[in-house]
Structure 1
Amino acid sequence: MTPSATRQLWLLALANFAIGMGAFVVVGVLSPVALAFGVDRAHAGALMSVYAGTYAIASPLLIAATGRLDRRRLMSIGLALFAAGSVMAALAPSFALLLAARALMALGGGLVTPVAASVGVALAGPGQQGRALAIVFGGLTFAQVLGIPAGAWLGYALGWQAAFVVVAMLTLVGLAAIVTALPAGIAVPVASLSKLGKVLRDARLMVAVAFTALFTGGLYVCYTFVAPLLESLYGLSRDGVTGMLLLFGLGAVVGNAMGGRLTDRIGSRRTLVLLCLAQSLLMPALTLPTWPLAAVGALMFIWSVFGWSFMVPQQARLAALDPAQLPVLFALNASAIYVGATLGSAVGGAVLKGLGLHALGLFGAALALLGLASLAFRR
């Protein structure tokens, strides 16, 4: 891979960092938002649901409808919409307008992340797609480590609006970098609404995309309730939970890099099989017994490594299945992440009510094994 291509991949990672921070920063500021608008925290959780639902539905349609637009221009439009939504959120005088701002951010994010993935594949040389995608999606994983905790700190220290102001500023920096340094005319397969319809009718491709929802869903069965788990089983408070989440974030960075290396060395499908088997063991190990605190920290880190390794091999797998449908497949795959997060949170909530914290890992493992079974579907 040329130095120029590598620099351009890091620009795409910067754009993804801003998108990742903006998408999930509400997780850390739900309490201040709920207090500001006089709603309970469950109601404030709609800020994530609205973003996820809008992204899941709109992203594939927008990518298909704008298939003939230059990729640099399309990403610039997406980043501009995301920045505008972030500013609108910071200035929102009511909870309803804040929800509308989150929907606008989702429209912008839905144009950036899948396009960045397809551009990353186009910039990569032969046998280097895994490394290229690891760089591009490194922005999202670094948002987990740095962006979300920083946004939460800003939300509590300066007011929740400050978190959205910072997101807007980072997005504008990413926009300037894309406009000035990413070349126009990067050749990627052209998306269209007819191609979207073709993919939606293709059982083989849709089962392949469904893997993302199942694997992500398994992760979120446990991740959604990891703070209550750490508080109830290990007596951790704010600082202890924050430390464990930092270990999880560091594991995400390592996992993203590991997924790229494994994909280039043993192939995408074998990597995904390995990750599913690892998750089916790690999640029950995390929740069923009670461990010494040091062992819990090690498990959190390893669980995250093997969890966040999946995105690169899954993207590479989709690219190999049908290169002509690449933009549509990447858009559907990005949507499947949010479908999986919603699925996992719902399953985890039901398990928590019915069976308790210790059972979460078993149901997370079950979804991971369903993802493993989907890899066998080839027709």
Structure 2
Amino acid sequence: MNFKVFILTIATFTVGLIELIIGGVLPEIANDLNVSIGTAGQLITIYALVYAIAGPTLLAFTSKVERKSLYLWSMLIFTIGSLIACWSPNYEVLFFSRMLTAASGSLIVTLSLTIAVKVVAPEFRARVIGIISMGISSSIVLGVPIGVLVEEALGWRILFLVIALLTLVAMVVIYMFLDHIPVEEIMPLKAQFASLKNSKVISAHLVTLLMLAGHYTMYAYLTPFLESTMHLNAYWISVVYFVFGLAAVSGGMIGGVMSDRLGSTKSILIVIGVFALAMFVLPMSAKLIWVFPVVLFVWGALSWALSPAQQSYLIQNAPETADIQQSFNFSALQIGIAVGSAFGGIVIKNTGSVTMNAWVGAAIVVLSFCCALYSLSRPSGAAKHVSNQSVHTS
């Protein structure tokens, strides 16, 4: 692996920890801060929303800042936000800390992606995106299951302190080994949004948004699902998250290799179709102890397998705005997380059962599949035309 890509993956790992680890300890946070599970779930929603908005916006506003310096400042703010979360005396302060870490985290991940695809040959772009995605999915393997066990022994606040310390270590590594990165011209926000006028491009982003919305309708509430349907304790819940995380890490690489070999079109349809099926059968598999781990692994692997194919698809169909489309696609991903976690809370509130979340989520993923079919059916030349038009109008 290119050493610079490895450094960028370390950074995304720390960001992934703070976004995803909170899902494993939602019941404990809710009890400690005297809020409902649904309200605690909005801590995931606000992070995702701020992340989605901040990604392309901050990238444009900081276009004249040297990239390495911007990287380090973003990580410093991320560290401060993590320390605030550790100290937070009430829900409101924790809510604010999530906004702070989301804004800084969005820059860290967006910069990681835009830099990574520039330091490798074009034929390895999808694979590198898969590796960067592994930085986040690896945080599920190590962070969420260990976080569940650490929270059981020391409380949930210590998790944010550990994340702050890990971020400081990552800052030192980046300061020492990442070269200064020249500032490149960033397309104005108006021109960025103009690139979304093409139906092929916007429907591709909707694929990501709906896929993650369906996923997080269930995944954001996996801990209460495991507690209520399978009656698992903290140890076994951490094992479930560990299995899911292993699958997610392999999914990032599988998605990259699949996209390189089969092409982005076939990969997108295969991943979404099988993912919807896995979510639909998940509640039934919970009653079959030997079937559940298989379904869980498939669900976890495919949850991260779409990103490389999607990013490659956008690069192919909107090459003049490829960097912008990568940023928008991760914004779509985060909006999907926000919508899914918020909608999942509504489903629990209205049905009184977290089991329904899996079936509702599967239905949303089917909508994602329909958007994929629509995007793939649009003429490919139009995206390039819109991209050129966008650059011209800027």
Q: Distance in 1 between matches of 2:24 and 2:3?
A: 31
Q: Tell me whether 1:67 sits opposite 2:45 in the alignment.
A: no
1:367 is aligned to 364
Rate the CA distance shift 1:323–1:350 in 2: closer, same or farther, 3 A: same
Q: Tell me whether 1:211 sits opposite 2:203 in the alignment.
A: no
Given that 1:154 and 1:163 are in contact with CA atoms closer than 8 Å, whether structure 2 keeps it comes out as yes
Residue 341 of structure 1: CA displacement? 1.9
Q: Distance in 1 between matches of 2:25 and 2:291?
A: 29
Q: Tell me whether 1:307 sits opposite 2:308 in the alignment.
A: no
2:131 is aligned to 135
Of the candidates 110, 113, 129, which is equivalent to residue 109 of structure 2? 113
Report 1:39-54 matches (<5 A): 39-54=35-50
2:270 is aligned to 274
Report 1:254-273 matches (<5 A): 254-273=250-269
* Partner SS, residue 265 of structure 2: helix
Paired amino acid for 2:360? F
Given that 2:21 and 2:140 are in contact with CA atoms closer than 8 Å, whether structure 1 keeps it comes out as no
Residue 171 of structure 1: CA displacement? 1.1
What do residues 313-368 of structure 1 show as CA deviations (whole Å, max 9, x unaligned)? Answer: 11222222223323322222222222212322344455554495665444333222
Of the candidates 243, 248, 251, which is equivalent to residue 244 of structure 2? 248
Q: Distance in 2 between matches of 1:8 and 1:124?
A: 10
Q: Distance in 2 between matches of 1:165 and 1:245?
A: 21
* Partner SS, residue 124 of structure 1: coil
Q: TM-score, normalised by structure 1?
A: 0.89
Q: Tell me whether 1:319 sits opposite 2:315 in the alignment.
A: yes
* Partner SS, residue 56 of structure 2: helix
* Partner SS, residue 122 of structure 2: coil
Rate the CA distance shift 1:348–1:99 in 2: closer, same or farther, 3 A: closer
Q: Distance in 2 between matches of 1:23 and 1:313?
A: 23
Paired amino acid for 2:247? G
What do residues 278-301 of structure 1 show as CA deviations (whole Å, max 9, x unaligned)? Answer: 123222222346652011111111
Rate the CA distance shift 1:44–1:230 in 2: closer, same or farther, 3 A: closer
Paired amino acid for 1:25? I
Residue 235 of structure 1: CA displacement? 4.1
1:283 is aligned to 279
* Partner SS, residue 314 of structure 1: helix
Count residues in correspondence: 375
* Partner SS, residue 25 of structure 1: helix
Greater shift, 109-118 or 331-340, is seen at 331-340
* Partner SS, residue 195 of structure 2: helix
Rate the CA distance shift 1:205–1:69 in 2: closer, same or farther, 3 A: farther
Q: Distance in 2 between matches of 1:158 and 1:349?
A: 27
* Partner SS, residue 294 of structure 1: coil
2:195 is aligned to 199
1:18 is aligned to 14
Residue 126 of structure 1: CA displacement? 2.7
Greater shift, 46-55 or 14-23, is seen at 46-55
Residue 173 of structure 1: CA displacement? 1.6
Q: Distance in 1 between matches of 2:238 and 2:246?
A: 12
Q: Distance in 2 between matches of 1:35 and 1:21?
A: 22
Residue 196 of structure 1: CA displacement? 2.3
Residue 227 of structure 1: CA displacement? 3.7
Q: Distance in 2 between matches of 1:344 and 1:34?
A: 19
Paired amino acid for 2:364? L
Rate the CA distance shift 1:289–1:126 in 2: closer, same or farther, 3 A: closer
Given that 2:114 and 2:323 are in contact with CA atoms closer than 8 Å, whether structure 1 keeps it comes out as yes
2:391 is aligned to none
Greater shift, 246-255 or 58-67, is seen at 58-67
Where has structure 1 moved over 6 Å in runs of 4 or more? none
Identity of aligned residues (%): 29
Paired amino acid for 1:174? A
1:100 is aligned to 96
Q: Distance in 2 between matches of 1:240 and 1:186?
A: 48
Residue 82 of structure 1: CA displacement? 0.6
Structure 2: 5+ residue stretches without partners: 380-394
2:220 is aligned to 224
Rate the CA distance shift 1:298–1:186 in 2: closer, same or farther, 3 A: farther
What do residues 125-146 of structure 1 show as CA deviations (whole Å, max 9, x unaligned)? Answer: 1311122112211110010111
Given that 2:205 and 2:332 are in contact with CA atoms closer than 8 Å, whether structure 1 keeps it comes out as yes
Structure 1: 5+ residue stretches without partners: none
Q: TM-score, normalised by structure 2?
A: 0.86
What do residues 158-201 of structure 1 show as CA deviations (whole Å, max 9, x unaligned)? Answer: 33332111111111122222222122236866343233232344
